[in-house]
Every structure is written in structure tokens, then in C-alpha cells.
């Protein structure tokens, strides 16, 4: 117990040093802070999490530790600080289609090349990055029934910087059975791709030749708005309903994604240049999204049912539906077991194209990013939670994710290839609160 | 599409608000709802990790709580 107090005090000191030593802005991403009921005024509360994520076929794997410190400043006033580190390695689909011939691609840097074997799904194995994100938020009462929050966030990786600020307000009414919530967030992103940002629909060039790339960084601004209501239904249940709006403006391309240019037989069109005939993608520079979200949570004799549904639609013509179901079985000793099922389905973006054809005119926008295609995804998970002898909460979860795309239309020799293979990921997460 | 969505929102908003005034419990009946595990943001770190994964791998994101910082993963 004493050791625990010492640890807490050391962490509190470290956290304060972190705040005072960091002049940059940070951001909170959840609407409120994780305050436990037992947290006394002036007390710090700490949460740590560790995620291991690994995709099938040697695609991306990641380790992501998170550390959160929360101080109760006053009756209803909290300060929250969060540090996230995200370390990624592996290979990511380049957007090119497989061929019955080996394919050579120039790496994003323009300084080296790599070859994908015949009949193999093209992955770019240069994917390696570490992201560090700092977030802070301050929640405080405005009046008896009104609370507000302010937050800032900064996230930095090798080729990407994102900074955002946010504010929110919530109002309790109807005997505190109803809460209205409104939040606003503005983010500024700057991307400085390895080797420069490609010229839209620029042809990939061989190593040593001038690349079709621009120098300097590219920017994007995003404005997010969320309004919602939380309502107590009866002694055991409540629901939440949100509307969200998001508008982004600026550079939306993935600078590392390409589209294959094929001939009338489905082969790569031979234009005499000794690297695969691929063009860099081009997406619209604006996107507006609308979302509706509903959630129902019910206490059932110690167990808890938590179910939610989300509908999203945007002007890229992507519509998605997400259903999420968790059921927490409580044991007599305070442990719990929580199975989780999530189903997601989306339509493709209106400019999604798995490939381009030499004999057809170039569209205004095109991307072959698999994330803009039509697919379904399922997550199955199991979480176990228990308390240590000191009363601290542990949680351990294993989740499996499977994405099943709709195979696009094919012709000629392309019919021998899978353009969008299914893929899986395994996630292992450990949380500790103290 | 946009108009349909706005109309749907208006109808939903109105029904939710008018329905809310008839729902709820007295303060002394909130013992179960006050349990930490019944809070809607019971596990903020888990939610943030999940949001980050799905943001990186799916075209739709956010909607549950308001969005956090971006990253180069999408």
C-alpha cells in the first residue's frame, strides 16, 4: 500500500513536470475524464493501457502503450493528461493490382526499388513509423447544472503532425435525468510525405529519374461538431443519442497509394518505363460527414448490456452502419467476463476504382485504397476484468477483426487475381487502473 | 439526401426531447446507474484505442464521442 502511494506521488510529480515543461498544445479526445467515484479532491488517478495489434500476411503490426493521469481539482473539476505512443511496422497494400508478371516499384523516397512476385498482392513493406500523442483536457462546472470542458491535442509522427483544440458544454435538466451535450473540435494536420507529395495522377518513375513529387508539406483543416443527449429511462437503464458533423478541407490523398494502369487484356500497360505502370491517387480536397449514433445501456442483476448503433454518410458517397454489442457477466467476487461483437459495413467511395484503364479517359478523382472500397467487417472479443488485492482494476482483452471486401469487377487476365483479399487482425489489450 | 437527413434529425430530436420529460427516476433511485461500470465513458483508454484502430482501417470514424486528434494513418 505504502509502495503504491510512493509510486503515485512519483507519477504525480512526473506528470506535473510534463505539463510545465511542455509549452505545446495538447488535446482531449473523450468528452469527459475517467474519474472514479472514490477519487478525493486533490487526488491523482492513473490508468495505463497496452495494445498489441497484428495483421495477417505480415501486414501492419503495432504496439501502443497509453498512460493517463487524472487529477480531481475540485468537487466537479478535473484535469486530464494522456500520453500515447504508437509504434508501427510491416507492410501496407500499395493499391496496385497483382499481375502474372513480377512488378517493380520505386520506394516513396525515390532512392530504391522493390519487386513484388508474380501473382502476389502488392504490399509496400517500407511501412515503419512511431507516433507520439499528448492530450490534455480540463473539465469544470459553469453553474449547478452546466459543465464545460476544454482540451488540446498534439500528435506527431515522422511525416505527419496533427494539432487540435476542442471545447464542450453539457447541461443537466429534468431532475438530472437528461443531459444535453455539445462539443466542437478544430484540427490542423500537416503532412510531409517521404520523398515529397506526389503530383495527382503522376506516373511512378524509376530510381534515379526525376520523380513526380512536390516539395514542401501539405495541409488539412478539420472541423468536428457533436451534439447529443443522454437520458435516464428507469432505475436500470439509460440511452444516448448523438448527431455528429465533420468537415475537412485540404490534402486528403494518401501519398503512398497508387493505381495500376491496365491494357484491354487486364495486363499492366507497357509504356516502356522500367517500373510498373502506376499513377499516384487523387482524392477530392473536401469531405463532409454526418453521423447518427444511438446507445443503450442496461443493468441486469449485476450484469450489464451495452449496445450501440451508428450510421454515417458523407459526400464521398460512403455510407456505413456499425452495430456494437457488449455483455458484461459479473461474478460474485467482483471479476467480470465481457464478450464483444461488432459488425461494420460500408459502401465504396464514389471515386473508388481498383485500377485504371489505358483505353478509358482519366477520371477527375480516383483512389484504389482498400479502405474506400465496399466491405464488411466483424470484431469478436472477450475481456476479463479483476481487481488486485490492493483494489486496483486490471482488464485483459483479446479481439479478432476480420475484413471481407466485395471483390471488384474484373476482366481478361485480371480474373486470375484477387484484387481485394480478406484480412484479419489480432488485438491484445491490457489495462491497469491505480 | 442532406434535406432528408435534416428532416430525420428534426423528427428524432423532437421525439427525443418530448419523450425525455416523461422518463427518469428520483435522485435516490440512481444507485445502479451511479455504478462506475454503468458510466458511458467507463473505459476511455479502451475507447480511444479502438477508435484509433477503426479510424486507421475504416472509412467512417467518430460519432460516439467527439473526435480526437488526427494521424497519418488514414
Distance, CA of A343 to CA of A370 (rounded, Å): 18
Which residues of chain B neighbour A236 with C-beta distances below 8 Å?
A: 32-33
Q: Quick one: how far is CA B25 from the chain centroid? A: 21
Mutate to test the interface with B, among A152, A193, A231, A368 (most CBs of B within 10 A): A231
Residue A4 — pLDDT band, cuts 50, 70, 90?
A: low
Distance, CA of A280 to CA of A286 (rounded, Å): 18
**A32 touching B (Cβ < 8 Å):** yes
Cβ contact B70–A346 (<8 Å): no
> How large is the average pLDDT for residues A25-41?
50
> How large is the average pLDDT for residues A381-402?
96
Nearest CA distance, A155 vs chain B (angstrom): 7
Cβ contact B71–A155 (<8 Å): yes
Beta-bridge partners for A380: A341, A400
- Residue ranges of the domains in chain A? 2-433
Find the radius of gyration of the CA atoms of chain A: 24
Which residues of chain A neighbour B60 with C-beta distances below 8 Å?
A: 289, 291, 310, 312, 314, 318, 320, 322, 346
Distance, CA of A201 to CA of A168 (rounded, Å): 41
> How large is the average pLDDT for residues A346-373?
97
Distance, CA of A186 to CA of A27 (rounded, Å): 10
Distance, CA of A88 to CA of A82 (rounded, Å): 20
Q: Which residue of A has its CA nearest to B71?
A: A162
Distance, CA of A282 to CA of A279 (rounded, Å): 9
| Sign of the CA dihedral with A177 first, then A178, A184, and A185 last | positive
Distance, CA of A50 to CA of B64 (rounded, Å): 22
Q: Out of B9, B48, B70, whose CB is closest to A222?
A: B70
Cβ contact B45–A34 (<8 Å): yes
Range name among A146-150, A249-253, B47-51 with the lowest pLDDT average? B47-51
Cβ contact B49–A66 (<8 Å): yes
Q: Quick one: how far is CA A42 from the chain centroid? A: 33
Beta-bridge partners for A420: none
Q: Which A residues in the span 340-369 are in contact with B, Cβ-Cβ below 8 Å? A: 344, 346, 349
Nearest CA distance, A174 vs chain B (angstrom): 6
Q: How big, in percent rounded to 5, are the helix, strand and coil portions of chain A? A: 5, 55, 35
Pairing of strands A356-357, A113-116: unpaired
Is the model's pLDDT at A320 over the cut of 80?
A: yes
A26, A73, A170 from A141: Cα distances, Å: 21, 11, 9
A82, A340, A391, A433, B35 from A46: Cα distances, Å: 10, 25, 13, 6, 19
A410 CB neighbour count, 10 Å cutoff: 16
Contact by Cβ (8 Å): A156, A22: no
**A291 touching B (Cβ < 8 Å):** yes
- pLDDT (0 to 100) of residue A220: 96
Distance, CA of A327 to CA of A338 (rounded, Å): 5
Distance, CA of A125 to CA of A93 (rounded, Å): 9
Mutate to test the interface with A, among B63, B71, B73, B74 (most CBs of A within 10 A): B63
Is the model's pLDDT at A294 over the cut of 60?
A: yes
What value of ipTM does the predicted structure carry?
A: 0.88
Determine the straight-line distance between the first and last CA of chain B, rounded to whole angstroms.
Answer: 26
Express each pLDDT in A207-236 by its tens digit: 999 999 999 999 999 999 999 999 999 999
**A244 touching B (Cβ < 8 Å):** yes
Residue bearing cell 505512443: A85
**A54 touching B (Cβ < 8 Å):** no
- pLDDT (0 to 100) of residue A36: 45
What is the CA angle A93-A99-A103, rounded to 5? 70
Correct CATH for A2-433 of 2.40.160, 1.25.40, 1.10.287, 3.40.50:
2.40.160
Distance, CA of A310 to CA of A243 (rounded, Å): 10
Residue bearing cell 497483382: A98
Nearest CA distance, B65 vs chain A (angstrom): 6
A-B CB pairs within 8 A amount to 227
**A139 touching B (Cβ < 8 Å):** no
Q: Which A residues in the span 202-231 are in contact with B, Cβ-Cβ below 8 Å? A: 220, 222, 224-226, 229-231
Cβ contact B48–A84 (<8 Å): yes
Distance, CA of A8 to CA of A14 (rounded, Å): 10
Cβ contact B51–A29 (<8 Å): yes
pLDDT > 90 fraction of chain A, expressed in percent and rounded: 87
Q: Which residue of A has its CA nearest to B26?
A: A175
How many helices (H) and strands (E) are present in chain A, helices listed first? 1, 23
Q: Out of B23, B40, B66, whose CB is closest to A166?
A: B66
Between B61 and A347, residue with greater pLDDT: A347
Residue A1 — pLDDT band, cuts 50, 70, 90?
A: very low
Amino acid at each position: 500500500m505504502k509502495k503504491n502511494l510512493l509510486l503515485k506521488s512519483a507519477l504525480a510529480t512526473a506528470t506535473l513536470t510534463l505539463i510545465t515543461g511542455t509549452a505545446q498544445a495538447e488535446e482531449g479526445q473523450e468528452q469527459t475524464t475517467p474519474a472514479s467515484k472514490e477519487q478525493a479532491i486533490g487526488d491523482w488517478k492513473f490508468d495505463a493501457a497496452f495494445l498489441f495489434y497484428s495483421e495477417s500476411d505480415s501486414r501492419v503490426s503495432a504496439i501502443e502503450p497509453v498512460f493517463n493521469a487524472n487529477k480531481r481539482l475540485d468537487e466537479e473539476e478535473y484535469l486530464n493528461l494522456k500520453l500515447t505512443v504508437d509504434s508501427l511496422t510491416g507492410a501496407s497494400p500499395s493499391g496496385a493490382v497483382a499481375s502474372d508478371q513480377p512488378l517493380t516499384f520505386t520506394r516513396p523516397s525515390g532512392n530504391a526499388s522493390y519487386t513484388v512476385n508474380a501473382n502476389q498482392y502488392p504490399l509496400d513493406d517500407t511501412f515503419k513509423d512511431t507516433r507520439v500523442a499528448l492530450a490534455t483536457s480540463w473539465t469544470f462546472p459553469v453553474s449547478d447544472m452546466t459543465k464545460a470542458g476544454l482540451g488540446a491535442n498534439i500528435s506527431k509522427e515522422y511525416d505527419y503532425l496533427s494539432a487540435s483544440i476542442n471545447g464542450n458544454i453539457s447541461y443537466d435538466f429534468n431532475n438530472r435525468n437528461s443531459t444535453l451535450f455539445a462539443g466542437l473540435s478544430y484540427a490542423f494536420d500537416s503532412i510531409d510525405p517521404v520523398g515529397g507529395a506526389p503530383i495527382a495522377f503522376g506516373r511512378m518513375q524509376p530510381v534515379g529519374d526525376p520523380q513526380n513529387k512536390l516539395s514542401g508539406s501539405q495541409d488539412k483543416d478539420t472541423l468536428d461538431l457533436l451534439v447529443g443527449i443522454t437520458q435516464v429511462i428507469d432505475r436500470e437503464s439509460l440511452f444516448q443519442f448523438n448527431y455528429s458533423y465533420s468537415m475537412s478541407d485540404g490534402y486528403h490523398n494518401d501519398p503512398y497509394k497508387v493505381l495500376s494502369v491496365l491494357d484491354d487484356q487486364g495486363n499492366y500497360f507497357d509504356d516502356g518505363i522500367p517500373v510498373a505502370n502506376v499513377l499516384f491517387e487523387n482524392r477530392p480536397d473536401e469531405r463532409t460527414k454526418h453521423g447518427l449514433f444511438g446507445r443503450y445501456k442496461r443493468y441486469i442483476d449485476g450484469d450489464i448490456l451495452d449496445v450501440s448503433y451508428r450510421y454515417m454518410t458523407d459526400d464521398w458517397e460512403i455510407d456505413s452502419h456499425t452495430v456494437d454489442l457488449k455483455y458484461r457477466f459479473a461474478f460474485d467476487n467482483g471479476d467480470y467476463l465481457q464478450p464483444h461483437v461488432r459488425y461494420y459495413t460500408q459502401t465504396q467511395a464514389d471515386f473508388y476504382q481498383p485500377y485504371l484503364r489505358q483505353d478509358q479517359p482519366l477520371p477527375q478523382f480516383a483512389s484504389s485504397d482498400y479502405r474506400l472500397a465496399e466491405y464488411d467487417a466483424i470484431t469478436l472479443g472477450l475481456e476479463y476484468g479483476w481487481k488486485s488485492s490492493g483494489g486496483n482494476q486490471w482488464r485483459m482483452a483479446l479481439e479478432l477483426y476480420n475484413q471481407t471486401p466485395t471483390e471488384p469487377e474484373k476482366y481478361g487476365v485480371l480474373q486470375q487475381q484477387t484484387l481485394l483479399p480478406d484480412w484479419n487482425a489480432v488485438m491484445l489489450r491490457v489495462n491497469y487502473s491505480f | 439526401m442532406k434535406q432528408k437527413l435534416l428532416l430525420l434529425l428534426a423528427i428524432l430530436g423532437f421525439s427525443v426531447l418530448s419523450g425525455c420529460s416523461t422518463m427518469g427516476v428520483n435522485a435516490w433511485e440512481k444507485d445502479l446507474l451511479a455504478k462506475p461500470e454503468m458510466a458511458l465513458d467507463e473505459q476511455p483508454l479502451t475507447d480511444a484505442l479502438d477508435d484509433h484502430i477503426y479510424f486507421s482501417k475504416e472509412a467512417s470514424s467518430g460519432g460516439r464521442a467527439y473526435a480526437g486528434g488526427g494521424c497519418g494513418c488514414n
